[in-house]
Structure 1
Amino acid sequence: MTESGQKKLPIFAFFIALIVKIFFLLTHHIQEDAFITWRVAQNLMDYGVIGFNGATKISSSTTHLYVFVSYFFNLIFGKENFIEPLLIFNSILFTIGSVLLSHLIFKDNKNKAIFIVLFGLLPPSIKISILGMEYGILFFLEMALLYYGFKKEKKWAVLLLPALIMFTRIDTVIFLGITFLVDLIWTKKIRWNYIFGGIIALAVSLTFNWFYFGEVVNNTIVAKKLRYDGNFTLKQNWDFFNLNYGNFWGMIKLPNDFNPFTIIIAIFELLCFIYLVRQRNNRNYFLWIIFVFGWVKQIIFLSQKSLFDWYYWVPQILLFVPVIIFILEIKEKRNLWLSLFAVYYIVPMLAFQAVHSIATGNGEWNYRRHIGLYLDIYEKDKNQWILLEPAGYVPYFSHLKTIDEVGLVDKDIQNEIVKDKDNYWLNTVKNRNPKYLLSYKNLFTEKDSAFYQENYKLVKEFRIKDHLQSQNPLLEKIYRLKPSGTDYNLYEKIRK
């Protein structure tokens, strides 16, 4: 191949990886929390306020930058048509980020191209790209910082990009801090422009939170900490880890407590990393940054009992980078190893993600969205309140004012949790009198059933088993193989 052809290989790889991800849009697998961000963006359009319920200010979304990006996509494409363009935009940014990462770790364009494709087909890469969360933007910004700020040493990058990164998610202080420490140890000098960039980033994020919301950190962080806080014994900590560690290092989380597959992957990642950094290579600088960051972030979030798997998507794929490098740089029978790696790892992972996305897309887009659409037709007064969990699909498509069990979109329920955590749900119902309750439980057979029977009536039962059919026999098999969704009961307040 000619030299110009070699230079174009990463560009071809970019489009291959992007096209594969775009096919996943057909599954309608969109993360619940994305709809929280999108409702906040639409609330900004309708009321001029960053909030969730009318003119009340609240940082319901974990990301400020993505709220503004979503706001502009709503303005450009309209509320009915913005989702697909935004998901494609996220996928483009993530794939550009993978191209920048390839420039950090390879010199050969052929290796860059293969890396971009293999990296882009990993399950976390697909989820970052098409599930609607802010991580496509975040990954792009973080890789842009490493490439332009630390490889090309552009002053604008180390001054501007940290602010955009932290304005996307405040917990990215971990990434920015690890990058600073590795750079300090590696170069043995202080990069003052980067320090100024970090100060600017902190100032922008914290002052925006303080002057707009009257808080230092996002409400979402406070609410989750308050709702899920608990003292664990040593045994409970071990049981928690054993149940959830598949989120932390593996590409997939299998539905059982003990997952040896994840342990094998974690060990292989570590061995590949040790093998690579023992070689004298300038890329080791970036390998240290991404690998230390991957481990530190996961350990911090694990210690805080963070259950949500999207926190771990970026660390998962970054920790896997040494494995792909190792496979691509094997000298003996390289093509054989690469073929075996693709056939026995990449393709099964891609197939698993396809099945998972199809099943989850059915459980969320076809089923949970259906609940929101039902309520949208059933209740015409959009000033009525509903108490439920979670605050994604149903509030977004029903357009009702919302109280969520965790307090992400409504702060008043947090006061009830502080006063009486065991009875906060019932106390909220009594004090706030929401017109609708959407519960996983049968409230007429639970504790305090007499109160609910006296004040509420059952409107409709929503059952996931009723949404496992399809005219396509293959889709129906997948729906039944991996049913996704939760049964709900909808209650309406009785007029007296």
Structure 2
Amino acid sequence: MTLLKNKNLPIYAVIFAIIAKLYFLLTHHIQEDAFITWRVAQNLLDYGVIGFNGNTKISASTTHLYVFVSYFFNLIFGKDNFIEPLLIFNTILFTIGSLFLSHILFKNNWHKAIFIFLFGILPPSIKISILGMEYGILFFLEMALLYYGFQKEKKWALIILPVLILFTRIDTVIFLGIIFLVDIFWNKKIKWSFVLGGILGIALSVAFNWFYFGEWVNNTIVAKKLRYDNHFTLQQDFDYFRLNYGNFWGMVKLPGDFNPFMILIALFELACFIYLIRQREKRNYFLWIIFLFAWTKQLVFLSQKSLFDWYYWVPQILLFVPVIIFVLEQKVKRNLWLSLLIIFYILPMLAFQTVHSIATGNGEWNYRRSIGLFLDVYEKDKKQWILLEPAGYIPYFSGLKTIDEVGLVDKQIQTEIRKDKPHYWINTVKKRKPKYLLSYNNLFEDQDSAYYKDHYKLLKEFRIKDHLKSDNKILEKIYKLKPSGSDYNLYEKIRN
């Protein structure tokens, strides 16, 4: 009878974990790039074209599958009401993915339930769930592959799930590659169904890009590589790693160029992993997969100078899995270990993420979105162009055609970067003559100030300090404690 009661504990944990995270919807902390994907989905809805600016095809989003999912949510709920249902959907999928992971790692249902809840309220899990990116779907698909494909050994999962995973993000070839290598090493044979799934996934993703967009890989990859390409010496590479490692191996971003706290966490994660894999158990097969994948992805992306923190969410949370297992399976003083973990790590991390989400939500939803809403009211002709960076909130809420500095949503600026990278911004302005310029800098004090003064006027200044006030004194303290956002100057073209 007790076993029957305990059988449903993981399901109850899934429900509680979902509910526990829903209050983050109130913070309006949504990742900038999510709005790029959602505008692409709405462009497909309005023009029948996967693009960003009207009927021009461009793979402005990093993810194809999530574009189609977002398209259907827009279709069902409407453009004004789809965001919350989609964020809840992402949260549900991520939490079900954690349920699959718990089935792989534990036999005891109490352990599964505690794991699901604690795992689900850590900062990377909250960000994967609520911030609007494709990682909720991706985590669900990846954990479903491990559970159904390699735990249950279902051939359909080995064929279909790699296709969906690769169509979500092409860089998941790292995840699938690690699984392939560990599986061969562990089982001494090749799962040909999995190989077929991988081949089909790569073929579908590449073929879709080529036949629809006329390119082998997503435009976002090309644009970021072109814009952020820097040639570093060995010493510069080392300095770069020293300055940034703490942001990617840890759960949270902290200021400063030395982060001993993150070193301790990384070492503890590694120690727990080594402790757990001393014996050749079936579970350790999966621990090897997730741990090697997490380290490999972080090293690959950090080596490529990829500073976008969402690339690291899934590795961050997977690296912490051995810690939770280690604590839950202590034979002596387990409750003490668990209490220490919750009091000194889980709860502080949850508190930090809450403060971070409130502050960032204010800086992006309340502040950056207000710039887009201002332009939406001010400029009724949605065929007018704006040059800015980044291409998320402001283009989405203004509805204007957009040239972004990186070239994620407009390929023509990439041509200017290739021709003359130091001067590509002013060259784009002179050639394309966008009606609006939005800049972090005062263009009238720029080296090309004469041109700007002759052709543009300062329309409005947007300052983050004006958005650090609230009737709620606690919120105001959080806003001022961790201000989020940048100052902008908005310029309008002078009619000649």
Same fold (TM over 0.5): yes
The answer for the alignment partner of 2:157 in structure 1 is 157
Q: In structure 2, what residue type is equivalent to 1:453?
A: K
The answer for the alignment partner of 1:38 in structure 2 is 38
Give the Å deviation of 1:5.
Answer: 1.2
The answer for the alignment partner of 1:188 in structure 2 is 188
How far apart in 1 are the matches of 2:235 and 2:252? 25
The answer for the alignment partner of 2:260 in structure 1 is 260
Give the Å deviation of 1:282.
Answer: 1.3
Q: In structure 2, what residue type is equivalent to 1:226?
A: L
How far apart in 2 are the matches of 1:17 and 1:392? 29
Say if 2:18 and 2:91, in contact at 8 Å, map to a contact too: yes
The answer for the alignment partner of 1:366 in structure 2 is 366
- 1:83-118 superposed Cα distances (whole Å, 9 cap, x missing partner): 000000000000000000000000000000000011
Give the Å deviation of 1:305.
Answer: 0.4
Q: Which runs of structure 2 are paired with 1:414-493 in the superposition (5 Å)?
A: 414-493=414-493
- 1:297-329 superposed Cα distances (whole Å, 9 cap, x missing partner): 011001100000000000000111000000101
How far apart in 2 are the matches of 1:356 and 1:342? 19
Say if 2:159 and 2:197, in contact at 8 Å, map to a contact too: yes
- 1:58-105 superposed Cα distances (whole Å, 9 cap, x missing partner): 000000000000000000000000000000000000000000000000
Q: Which runs of structure 2 are paired with 1:136-175 in the superposition (5 Å)?
A: 136-175=136-175
How far apart in 1 are the matches of 2:214 and 2:32? 27
How far apart in 2 are the matches of 1:464 and 1:298? 32
The answer for the alignment partner of 1:273 in structure 2 is 273
- 1:143-187 superposed Cα distances (whole Å, 9 cap, x missing partner): 000000000000100000000000000000000110011001000
The answer for the alignment partner of 1:227 in structure 2 is 227
How far apart in 2 are the matches of 1:289 and 1:131? 26
Q: Which runs of structure 2 are paired with 1:83-94 in the superposition (5 Å)?
A: 83-94=83-94
Task: Tell me the secondary structure at the aligned position of residue 8 of structure 2.
Answer: helix
Give the Å deviation of 1:279.
Answer: 2.7
Q: CA RMSD in A?
A: 0.7
The answer for the alignment partner of 1:246 in structure 2 is 246
Task: Tell me the secondary structure at the aligned position of residue 459 of structure 1.
Answer: strand
Q: In structure 1, what residue type is equivalent to 2:482?
A: K
Q: In structure 2, what residue type is equivalent to 1:331?
A: K
How far apart in 2 are the matches of 1:372 and 1:136? 27
Give the Å deviation of 1:330.
Answer: 0.9
Give the Å deviation of 1:3.
Answer: 1.3
The answer for the alignment partner of 1:342 in structure 2 is 342
Q: In structure 2, what residue type is equivalent to 1:377?
A: V
How far apart in 1 are the matches of 2:344 and 2:303? 33
Q: In structure 2, what residue type is equivalent to 1:160?
A: I
Give the Å deviation of 1:281.
Answer: 2.0
Give the Å deviation of 1:2.
Answer: 1.3
Q: In structure 2, what residue type is equivalent to 1:123?
A: P
Task: Tell me the secondary structure at the aligned position of residue 270 of structure 2.
Answer: helix
- 1:247-304 superposed Cα distances (whole Å, 9 cap, x missing partner): 2210011011111111111111111000000034210000000000001101100110
Say if 2:24 and 2:357, in contact at 8 Å, map to a contact too: yes
How far apart in 2 are the matches of 1:480 and 1:233? 38
The answer for the alignment partner of 1:133 in structure 2 is 133
How far apart in 1 are the matches of 2:434 and 2:316? 41
Say if 2:386 and 2:402, in contact at 8 Å, map to a contact too: yes
Task: Tell me the secondary structure at the aligned position of residue 386 of structure 1.
Answer: strand
Give the Å deviation of 1:21.
Answer: 1.0
Task: Tell me the secondary structure at the aligned position of residue 457 of structure 1.
Answer: strand
- Indicate the larger mover: 245-254 or 182-191: 245-254
Q: In structure 2, what residue type is equivalent to 1:112?
A: K
Task: Tell me the secondary structure at the aligned position of residue 283 of structure 1.
Answer: helix
* Aligned sequence identity (%): 78
- 1:212-271 superposed Cα distances (whole Å, 9 cap, x missing partner): 000000000000000000101222212211221122210011011111111111111111
Say if 2:43 and 2:50, in contact at 8 Å, map to a contact too: yes
Gaps of 5+ in 1: none
Task: Tell me the secondary structure at the aligned position of residue 444 of structure 2.
Answer: coil
The answer for the alignment partner of 1:285 in structure 2 is 285
Q: In structure 1, what residue type is equivalent to 2:352?
A: F
- 1:133-152 superposed Cα distances (whole Å, 9 cap, x missing partner): 00000000000000000000
How far apart in 2 are the matches of 1:123 and 1:195? 34
How far apart in 2 are the matches of 1:3 and 1:326? 23
How far apart in 1 are the matches of 2:491 and 2:223? 25
Say if 2:247 and 2:254, in contact at 8 Å, map to a contact too: no
Across the two proteins, how many residue pairs are aligned to each other?
Answer: 496
Q: In structure 2, what residue type is equivalent to 1:413?
A: I
Gaps of 5+ in 2: none
How far apart in 2 are the matches of 1:236 and 1:20? 43
- 1:455-483 superposed Cα distances (whole Å, 9 cap, x missing partner): 00000000000000011000000000000
- Indicate the larger mover: 233-242 or 211-220: 233-242
- 1:341-387 superposed Cα distances (whole Å, 9 cap, x missing partner): 10110000000000000000000000000000000000000000000
Q: In structure 2, what residue type is equivalent to 1:16?
A: F
How far apart in 1 are the matches of 2:131 and 2:246? 19
The answer for the alignment partner of 1:60 in structure 2 is 60
Give the Å deviation of 1:411.
Answer: 0.1
The answer for the alignment partner of 1:205 in structure 2 is 205
The answer for the alignment partner of 1:22 in structure 2 is 22
Give the Å deviation of 1:340.
Answer: 1.1
How far apart in 1 are the matches of 2:232 and 2:182? 33
The answer for the alignment partner of 1:81 in structure 2 is 81
Q: In structure 2, what residue type is equivalent to 1:180?
A: F
The answer for the alignment partner of 2:49 in structure 1 is 49
